[in-house]
Structure 1
Amino acid sequence: MSDVTIAANWLFQHLDDPDIAIADCRFALMQPELGRQQYESGHIPGAYYFDLNQDLSSPVQRHGGRHPLPDVDQFSAKLSAMGITPSTLVIAYDDSRFGFAARFWWLLRYLGHDRVVVLDGGFSNWKNSGYPSTTIEPAVKPGQFTPQIRTDWIVDIEAVKAKKDSPNVALIDSREPERYRGEREPIDPIAGHIPGAVNYPWQFATDDRGFLKTSDDRWSAFESKDEILVYCGSGVTACVNLLALTAAGCDRAKLYPGSWSDWCSYQV
């Protein structure tokens, strides 16, 4: 176990531990029903399913981006129903190189629960390692998740505008390079990036098998910065970079939850 990841063999050995809770976060942006279907076809025993649109986000409004942060009370109720208490170690996984599990990981920490990690290698590595899966959905458990929101962990569009040109602030765009450069934009109405942002694609945090890179010196350039602001298309995959920054010893970066989709909403 590291500060942010856990190995499949460790989880297998602790599946029956009452202080463990597991979240299946598999999802596909272009096929919103796929993650749930994959979960129903087979998941890690004891895992509860969390849908990006239904559980890890709130309804879309005119502003706020494509995946606004979830309603705290509703999200906390679902966390309680999977048995989470302050002592629970929560493990999140997906099959997208942390693309959705990191959103869950960040949300729990944002709400004050630091005992959360992601499964290194994701569900594919779990299956390839010969570990079991099941189609049985776990029952509701008695838990008590009490959120303690870290309001200083996020920034809105006005804060980004005010800080982005400061030499002491780093603004990181986590999207693919061609989206950052404005050469391709498959989702949002406007292509390009926030002026002043540098591009650090979220996929570079893992290898092609979905394991967190153990030596990642990409972040050393930001050691002298007073603030690090991170965004992506809608505040989801930016959380992979936040996870990688935490693994590298930098735990002060902030998320712009609305991200590029919120920025765009004020220009169309």
Structure 2
Amino acid sequence: MPYLISLDRLKKRLENNQDNTVIVDVRFQLNDPDAGRKAYLQNHLPGAVYMDLNKDLSGKASKHGGNHPLPDMKMFAGKIGKIGIDHDTTVVIYDQANDMFAARLWWLLDNLGHEKVYILDGGYEGWIKEGNEVTTAIPELKPKEFKGNFNENKIANIEEVKEKLEDNSAVLIDSRAKDRYLGETEPLYGKAGHIPGAKNFFWKNVLTKDGNWKKNGELEEHFASLSKDEEIIVSCGSGISACPNVLALKFAGFTNVKLYPGSFSDWISYEENKVETKEE
């Protein structure tokens, strides 16, 4: 599938010393923000550079805007250039397995117009499972100039979400687990439930039981209740686990898809906003 690279294909790419490839490790744990960087320092794929969800792939959280707002895109483009990426560079992103953080970086780069961006299908765990080499060596980076044009049309803010829910001109998806969507549990935020009107599509359901990405036809079936003619706004808790759903919708042939970066954490930062706990 486009936007995915197999373990075997990446291995051959490394064996053939193909130039102009940058591998990015984005392992992260929401409940232990230092765990990903520590894991990277312990070992990582050969040549990989680390990018941190909080420090690199997100802006600074404030009262409104959600827990992981988008980074300043000019600064982000500068960071991308510093690790050796320009528009001719092939970027391979990996997570612990097929997790949500790789999709976040894929979304950021895709929205900046970078076409050669791939997620390693299987991630670090898949790489290790097949007995491939890992290292502790930190690569020497050759800075380049990355020029990106951020596509504002692919994001929705809270005003747009409210407006389009009110006039039924878009479908809002909540990508969190069903128990959080229903407000039965909430480990991260002061309120439990979901944005009224949101439909639940748990992001992990775009993967098979073995944790692999589902094929295009399987994803079309998964999203069969949605119309490709409708605008779809994808949310989650703070704009991270929404990204695998955005990617999966793209695989399934949906083209009118936006990310609500602030998501539920932004929604509940306004006291007047109601939350719902029943399935919709």
How high is the TM-score relative to the length of structure 2? 0.92
Q: 1:96: Cα distance to partner?
A: 4.5
Deviation of 1:223 after TM superposition, in Å, equals 2.5
Indicate the residue corresponding to 2:160 in structure 1. 159
**1:9 alignment counterpart:** 8
Do residues 244 (structure 1) and 244 (structure 2) align?
Answer: no
What does residue 175 of structure 1 align with? 176
For 2:202 and 2:89, how far apart are their aligned partners in 1?
32
Please state how far the C-alpha of 1:14 moved relative to its aligned partner: 0.7
Partner amino acid, structure 2, of 1:3:
P
SS at match of 1:265: coil
Matches for 1:142-157 after TM superposition, within 5 Å: 142-157=143-158
1:205 aligns with 206
Provide the secondary structure at the position in 1 that maps to 2:10.
Answer: helix
Contact 2:97-2:122 at 8 Å conserved across structures: no
Q: Which amino acid aligns with 2:173?
A: I
Counterpart CA distance in 2 for 1:252 and 1:21 is 30
Give yes or no for the alignment of 1:132 onto 2:133. yes
1:37 aligns with 2:76: no
Structure 2 residue 258 is the aligned partner of structure 1 residue 259: no
1:8-47, CA deviations, whole angstroms, 9 ceiling, x for partnerless residues?
A: 1100111221121111000000011100011001111111
Task: Give SS of 1:228's match.
Answer: strand
What SS does the aligned partner of 2:161 have? helix
1:74 Cα offset (Å):
2.3
Counterpart mapping for 1:112-123 below 5 A: 112-123=113-124
- Residue 209 of structure 1 deviates from its aligned partner by 3.9
CA contact (8 A) 2:173 2:199 kept: yes
Which runs of 4 or more aligned residues in structure 1 lie more than 6 Å from their structure 2 counterparts after TM superposition?
none
Q: Write the letter of the residue equivalent to 1:87.
A: D
Q: Percent identity?
A: 44
Deviations 1:129-169 (CA, angstroms, capped at 9, x unpaired)? 11111111111213221110100000000000000144442
- Provide TM-score, normalisation by structure 1: 0.96
Residue pair 2:228, 2:255 contacting (<8 A) in 1 also: no
Q: Which runs of 5+ in 2 are unaligned?
A: 273-280
Tell me if the contact between 1:59 and 1:68 (Cα under 8 Å) persists in the aligned partners: yes
How far residue 208 of structure 1 moved from its aligned partner, in angstroms, is 4.2
Q: Is the 8 A contact 1:120 1:210 kept in 2?
A: no
Answer yes or no: is the 8 Å Cα contact 1:26–1:94 preserved in 2: yes
Question: Equivalent residue of 2:268, what SS?
Answer: helix
Q: Which amino acid aligns with 1:32?
A: P
* Structure 1 residues 237 and 96: CA distance shift in structure 2, 3 A: farther
Aligned to 1:23: 24
Measured on the aligned residues, the alpha-carbon RMSD in Å equals 1.4
- Whether the aligned pair in 2 keeps the contact of 1:98 and 1:118 (CA below 8 Å) is no
Q: State whether residues 205 and 244 of structure 1, in contact with CA within 8 Å, keep that contact through their aligned partners in structure 2.
A: yes
Q: Quick one: structure 1 residues 224 and 85, their matched pair in 2 at CA, closer, same or farther if it must change by over 3 Å?
A: closer
Q: Which amino acid aligns with 1:235?
A: G
| Contact 1:58–1:71 under 8 Å retained in 2 | yes
8 Å CA contact 2:109–2:117 kept in 1: the answer is: yes
State the alpha-carbon separation in 2 of the partners of residues 165 and 205 from structure 1.
28
In 1, Cα distance between equivalents of 2:129 and 2:228: 41
Instruction: Give the corresponding residue for 2:73.
Output: 72
Contact 2:44 2:135 in 1 (8 A): yes
Aligned residues: 267
Q: Point out the more displaced range, 209-218 or 170-179.
A: 209-218
* Aligned mate of 1:219, from 217, 220, 223: 223
Letter in 2 for 1:5: L
The answer to whether the Cα contact below 8 Å between 1:22 and 1:92 also exists between their aligned partners in 2 is yes
CA distance, structure 2, for counterparts of residue 68 and residue 49 of structure 1? 20
